[in-house]
Structure 1
Amino acid sequence: MRSGGGYRALLAVLLVAAVGVATIGMPVVNSGMTTTAEAAESPEIAESYDSVSQVDSERDPADEVYLGENGSAVLQYDDDEGDVNQIDLGMDVSEGLAYMLVVDDIEDQDEEFQEANFSAVLDQSGFSGDGSFVMEQPEEVENFELDASGEVTDETNEFEATATGTFESQGGAAGTVDTDGQITATADRFETSGSVSADGAAGAMTGANSEGESLDLSLNDTSDGYTLDVTQERGVYDWSASQWETREQAEQTLQQQYGSLATDLGGTSEIEISNYNFEERSSGQHKLELEFTVEYTGIDDGIEQQLTTVLANSEEYDLSQSEAAEVAGTVTDLEIQTFEFSMATSGGSMDAEWDIAIDNYGELSLAMIDLAEASSMSEEMAQEDLEDARTALEAQQAVDLQSEIKWSASVEQTSDQKMELDAELSSNTENWAAYIDELEANDVDPQNDVSFSLTANTDGDELAVDAQFEIEAEDMASQAINSWANSVQNNPTTMSSDTDEFMTALSESELEVARVDGNIADGTVRVEGGAKFENMSKVADTFSDSVSISGMASGSAGNSTSLYVYVDDMGVDTESATKSDIEHLDVVGSETTVHEAGEWDEEFPEPDTDAMSEYLGVASEKSSESNESGDGDGGSDTVPGFGVGVTAIAGLLTALVLRRQA
């Protein structure tokens, strides 16, 4: 066996073309691009092939060369040492097709893990996939159920999730935490209300004590300032008792705590105590009951003046005095409609509630965009992105876009060392369709359509998880592969001239569709993947510096697997050439056996373009019965989506299989 390294190297390069493209980056919801290259990395992968240049350096000459007519040849790479059960490979450069299938046994499979399936498709209309796995129910899980789903389209933007479960827990004493609430936001108004309560051990962690303490406060706008009303009942330790022992001392202390703010901002404050009671106790912790009002006047002018000075003198912002004053004015234009908060603790329990509504912050949001444009950091931000942000905010104001989030959750630690969970979370958006129309009317691309679902539940002694994911976007395959190529090319740890050549060729190949499927069950792993390119010739040219490759196919006999590489042009007259005429080529070595034209009659497996096209759901140019795109079993229109995680698993499993061959 001479060229196992060459076989594995060619196999690795083919896998990059066939499956690697399915593990590339995908758009996030706001139409940005990211990459999963980092997510797919593992020590095994990195140690096997750190870069395309390493693969190229390890590519040995062929074992056999069969010379044909018109400059053609077939290169045979043998691998007698591989212990993989099945490897099927295929590539046809003229049709831009690449395919691989790896099936092997899993050694030392975790007995808790029972089976898994995943499938993913990336094409010019989006990225989609689904996946599931079943495992033995963990001992610490008594029961569990999760149901989450979300959707963002031109018509709707919503999310919903529920989770319930009982788990073994060594959390200590019994206790409960409950919370519920909501947040509502528009481009000009923010509202939130809700409550939190805790008792038992959970309440003790908040500092609740048996004596009982409480705090109620409210803040309101007035015509010339703000009014703060506070009612509190709390303990006072000996070291601070002198500040509260008399009504006069309490008023002086409050003046120091609250009045200094007005002084610093050039305004005035007036404090009035409406209820006062100080109870001295021998325990050293005294009790204070206090109800007071603070009237602030004229502090807005001070806020504007100080903020204007800071912005105008800052080297980070390029603002004139008047521009800085305009930004500062939007801060004091905020209107506090409601600001109420209360909290009470007693006997190891705690209860808190809030109700807040702030109005008229739309101008402040626009001012923040102006500030970003004037910032020295604006050089790092695209002007188009800032303008799109401004247009989006103005569109929200124009259609009165309103987003709402609601939640409810309860966590209980029981006396028998169990934790019980019951939680709900949802969000929805009103006037979303009108908002999308407004964006499009102002030449701003809306967000990509996204939908997903995730379920998990225990059944008997099993835990099952199912997930689906789909993103719709125009030219997504091209954008994704270009983003991935840029990410690799900008990574100094794996970058080289060969890597740059390969990634450039890959990005210029015009990917049309990539698909990957995987299954793990009964001690066997199966990974299948393929890709279709509009122009694959440049990718094929990176496989060899001296010959022109037109296709690849694999064949097996017993424990031996061979890869057959079809060459269109060996650069010599192959009909009369001998080994001495081609030994200068990088595919020919001293131990390569060369079969001259006319002296052999072997038949070799050829790329099955019909099967590859059917797998990818595309039409085969060489098929007499052309398959319409999407008609094939498992075509790109019929495979739902799961996300980048499962495709990263495909790359990982494939790399591990390759590594075991080495």
Structure 2
Amino acid sequence: MVRNISKYTVLALVQVLVLLIAPVAATGPTTGPQSPQQRTLSNSADPADSIYVMENGDAVLAYNNSNSGNGTMEFGANVTSGLVHILATDETESDMDAAASLVMTPDGYSGNGSLTANRPDSISDLTLDVNSKQNEQTSTGDLSLDATFDSGSSLSMLNSVNTEGHVTVTADSFSTKGSGTVSSAMAAGADKKLKYDLRETENGFVLKGTQSGAISPYMSSSWDSRENAKEHLKSQYASVATQNGGSATVTIDSYEYDESGVKPTLDIQYHVEFTGLKDAIAQSIAQSLKSSQQVSLSDEEIDSLSEDIKKMRIDHVTFGLNQHDGTMKLSWDVEVDNYDSAALAALEVAGNTNASSMNGQNIDRMKKTLEAQQAANLEQTVEWSAEATHPSSETTTVTAEVHYDSKNWKEYVQELKDRDIELGRSSVTLHAESNGDEVTARGSVEMKQKEMLSKVTDSMLSSFGSSKATSGGTELVKAFRSSDFQSARMDVDVESGTVTLEGGAKFDNMTAFADVLGDSYGDTEVASIVGRTNNDTTTTYVRVTGLVDENATKEDVRALAVANADTEIHMPGEWDREFPSMDTEDAATYLGVQQANGKETKSASESGQPGFGVGIAVVALAGVALLARRD
């Protein structure tokens, strides 16, 4: 059930934005979006198809790419106004109609969408609803599914499958109880019953076991007498206790063995008493910590942590299995208490371990979160029920419900605030249903938290460390953080075989990316990038500042990393043309932002200032950095 939307969900949405609004790779133009693995930084420049050198040594690098389809694309950015904009269209063979929109700010994102498509042949009926909400007052979530599938289902050998249960978690306890049933169309092995019940006592643990039913002839020698059965059980349980520094005593309470049938049958009840196990495990952990050179805790602190571990209590763990006439029933019931001290002890060890992958800030936040849960007596519960039936050889029906709820959530949020932790608000809605020969769906998502993207980038920088392997990503994230990102928007529309994409972004300091981006163009200073599609060719123009000295020759230009023997070089006085620029007014209107410098001209000539910027590549590069750590 969706409740908290993690930073990796944020990065996934960033990836969607990057893949759709960034047709320019970090090292050169492409004819379409690239994967994050393809879109990487490199010091090796991509030679331009043409270079236009200006009198002051600035230049425009032109890259031509052939388009395999009928798509068109216009993209660009203005470094002065910090605006990025793209408009692209393409054809699709899909008969789906869809529309989606996403808006992102430094404090979060929101989006919505809908689609209508032909109903797949494998689905004859479908209704799906998902609703999740988290704010200062409450945290809840619900999912319901009712579907009917046609033949070909993996359930063809089963009559039915069902399960129900719940999980409840507090700051110091975990409990779950549930059951499940699997009914097969044919017998699934011999009848048998198993039941295990483990409980903690003052002296240790007691495990009660029950087993009845047929056994394999290969195992008959282990069960064919009371003495052999006891030795077999001792070999199972005593060895486990001994390996962990404890001991175990096995007692058989009842025993019956019958080998008169086709297979021997066993009916046995026993209990096993474990002693010294918890103390031995806690002592073993303490000894390992004391002998480790990576842990910077005193012996007294470690002994205290060991005592915290021993406070954890396994109230009970039960499991049952009953198999009869092709039907197997499962049940379980678990409760573990007083693990809060053990959890804090684990965090204390992690915070004092040199090789720990967790930084101090994250550990401190986790401690405060656990303390807030304790203070508020927060309780979270997930309940579920699901059933799949196979009423005929051609039909499978599935129904399911999942519900998440919380108690004392408002108090928990306040306890977090008292510890300087702000919990964001989020919501997710989704409804999908079949309607005749079509399937329709609509949904929305929202995540809001103060300075959310700033926290994400800070976390990325902390996780990168100082390794040379991540130095490029570190510099890129630093540049993105310094770019003063303001907003981004993306809209996608699919209708009548045509896909239309419009996207944009606003930065207040695009120059933060100058050094990072310049490495991809022969260590030059990139001033701007713009692209246009004309017939079957998309041309990307990259303007660089100070490519050569004012008195440079054509040979000087060809010797640069951005040129090769095939590059057409146009020196000052040899060309007279204008280069396209983005319409900043349209971009500002689309994003709903104000322009600080008024309207821009529609083109830039040799003597003019560049009317387009590094924005498209900036967004792509920033996306690479943010996505590099997504698990």
TM-score, normalised relative to structure 2:
0.74
Distance 1:92 1:226, change over 3 A: closer
Q: Does 510-519 or 80-89 show the bigger shift?
A: 80-89
Mapped to 2, the partners of 1:300 and 1:569 lie a distance apart of 71
1:460-609 equivalences under 5 Å are 460-476=436-452, 507-537=481-511, 590-591=569-570, 594=573, 607-609=582-584
Mapped to 1, the partners of 2:223 and 2:525 lie a distance apart of 91
Contact 1:30 / 1:448 at 8 angstroms: preserved in 2?
no
2:87 maps to 101
Mapped to 2, the partners of 1:358 and 1:556 lie a distance apart of 63
Unaligned residue ranges in structure 2 (runs of 5+): 20-24, 600-618, 625-631
Distance 1:374 1:246, change over 3 A: same
1:231 maps to 210
Read off the aligned partner of 1:530 and give its amino acid letter: G
2:314 maps to 336
Deviation at 1:561, TM superposition (A): 8.8
Distance 1:281 1:548, change over 3 A: closer
Distance 1:347 1:59, change over 3 A: same
Q: Alignment partner of 2:215: what SS?
A: strand
Contact 1:552 / 1:563 at 8 angstroms: preserved in 2?
yes
Are 1:428 and 2:425 an aligned pair? no
What do the CA deviations read for 1:297-338 (whole angstroms, capped 9, x no partner)? 555444444444444445554555554443343343333333
Read off the aligned partner of 1:518 and give its amino acid letter: V
Distance 1:367 1:563, change over 3 A: closer
Read off the aligned partner of 1:166 and give its amino acid letter: T
1:375 maps to 353
Read off the aligned partner of 1:45 and give its amino acid letter: Q
Contact 2:43 / 2:523 at 8 angstroms: preserved in 1?
no
When the two chains are superposed, the root-mean-square deviation of aligned CA atoms in Å is: 4.9
Mapped to 1, the partners of 2:200 and 2:479 lie a distance apart of 64
Contact 2:51 / 2:59 at 8 angstroms: preserved in 1?
no
Distance 1:334 1:468, change over 3 A: same
1:134 to 85, 95, 116: 116
Read off the aligned partner of 2:120 and give its amino acid letter: P
Are 1:192 and 2:167 an aligned pair? no
2:329 maps to 351
What do the CA deviations read for 1:618-638 (whole angstroms, capped 9, x no partner)? 1123559xxxxxxxxxxxxxx
What do the CA deviations read for 1:135-158 (whole angstroms, capped 9, x no partner)? 322222222222223233333222
Distance 1:561 1:256, change over 3 A: closer
Mapped to 2, the partners of 1:367 and 1:409 lie a distance apart of 38
Distance 1:414 1:551, change over 3 A: same
Contact 1:304 / 1:325 at 8 angstroms: preserved in 2?
no
Read off the aligned partner of 1:357 and give its amino acid letter: E
Unaligned residue ranges in structure 1 (runs of 5+): 1-26, 625-646, 653-662
Deviation at 1:182, TM superposition (A): 0.3
What do the CA deviations read for 1:362-385 (whole angstroms, capped 9, x no partner)? 11111212232343423x321222
Distance 1:589 1:312, change over 3 A: closer
Q: Alignment partner of 1:366: what SS?
A: helix
Deviation at 1:437, TM superposition (A): 1.8
Deviation at 1:521, TM superposition (A): 2.3
Contact 1:278 / 1:286 at 8 angstroms: preserved in 2?
yes
Contact 2:132 / 2:429 at 8 angstroms: preserved in 1?
yes
Distance 1:260 1:73, change over 3 A: closer
Q: Alignment partner of 2:50: what SS?
A: coil
Contact 1:195 / 1:351 at 8 angstroms: preserved in 2?
yes
Mapped to 2, the partners of 1:308 and 1:592 lie a distance apart of 74
Read off the aligned partner of 2:587 and give its amino acid letter: M
Contact 1:34 / 1:483 at 8 angstroms: preserved in 2?
no
Mapped to 2, the partners of 1:268 and 1:556 lie a distance apart of 77
Deviation at 1:593, TM superposition (A): 8.0
1:269 maps to 249
Are 1:408 and 2:385 an aligned pair? yes
1:614 maps to 589
Distance 1:345 1:314, change over 3 A: farther
1:439 to 392, 401, 416: 416
1:100-249 equivalences under 5 Å are 100-106=86-92, 109-110=93-94, 113-167=95-149, 168-171=151-154, 172-201=156-185, 204=188, 208-209=189-190, 212-249=191-228
Deviation at 1:555, TM superposition (A): 8.4
Q: Does 465-474 or 504-513 show the bigger shift?
A: 504-513
Contact 2:5 / 2:426 at 8 angstroms: preserved in 1?
no
Mapped to 1, the partners of 2:465 and 2:199 lie a distance apart of 56
Deviation at 1:180, TM superposition (A): 0.5
Mapped to 2, the partners of 1:503 and 1:252 lie a distance apart of 62
2:364 to 362, 387, 392: 387
1:452-467 equivalences under 5 Å are 452-467=428-443
What do the CA deviations read for 1:577-612 (whole angstroms, capped 9, x no partner)? 9x99x999999965468499xxx9x99977533322
Distance 1:279 1:339, change over 3 A: same
The number of residues matched between the two structures is 574
Read off the aligned partner of 1:169 and give its amino acid letter: G
Distance 1:158 1:490, change over 3 A: farther
Mapped to 2, the partners of 1:539 and 1:375 lie a distance apart of 36
Distance 1:480 1:613, change over 3 A: farther
Mapped to 2, the partners of 1:290 and 1:501 lie a distance apart of 67
Deviation at 1:129, TM superposition (A): 2.1
Mapped to 1, the partners of 2:200 and 2:65 lie a distance apart of 83
Q: Alignment partner of 1:406: what SS?
A: strand
Q: Alignment partner of 1:234: what SS?
A: strand
Contact 2:60 / 2:541 at 8 angstroms: preserved in 1?
yes
Q: Alignment partner of 2:585: what SS?
A: helix
Contact 1:609 / 1:622 at 8 angstroms: preserved in 2?
no
Mapped to 2, the partners of 1:521 and 1:478 lie a distance apart of 37
1:631 maps to none
* Amino-acid identity (%): 26
Q: Alignment partner of 1:197: what SS?
A: strand
Q: Alignment partner of 1:95: what SS?
A: coil
Q: Does 160-169 or 308-317 show the bigger shift?
A: 308-317
Q: Alignment partner of 2:96: what SS?
A: strand
2:257 to 266, 278, 298: 278
Query: Which structure's CA Rg is the greater one?
Result: 1
Mapped to 2, the partners of 1:78 and 1:253 lie a distance apart of 76
Read off the aligned partner of 1:190 and give its amino acid letter: F
2:47 maps to 57
Read off the aligned partner of 2:363 and give its amino acid letter: L
Q: Alignment partner of 1:377: what SS?
A: coil
Q: Alignment partner of 2:355: what SS?
A: helix
2:606 maps to none
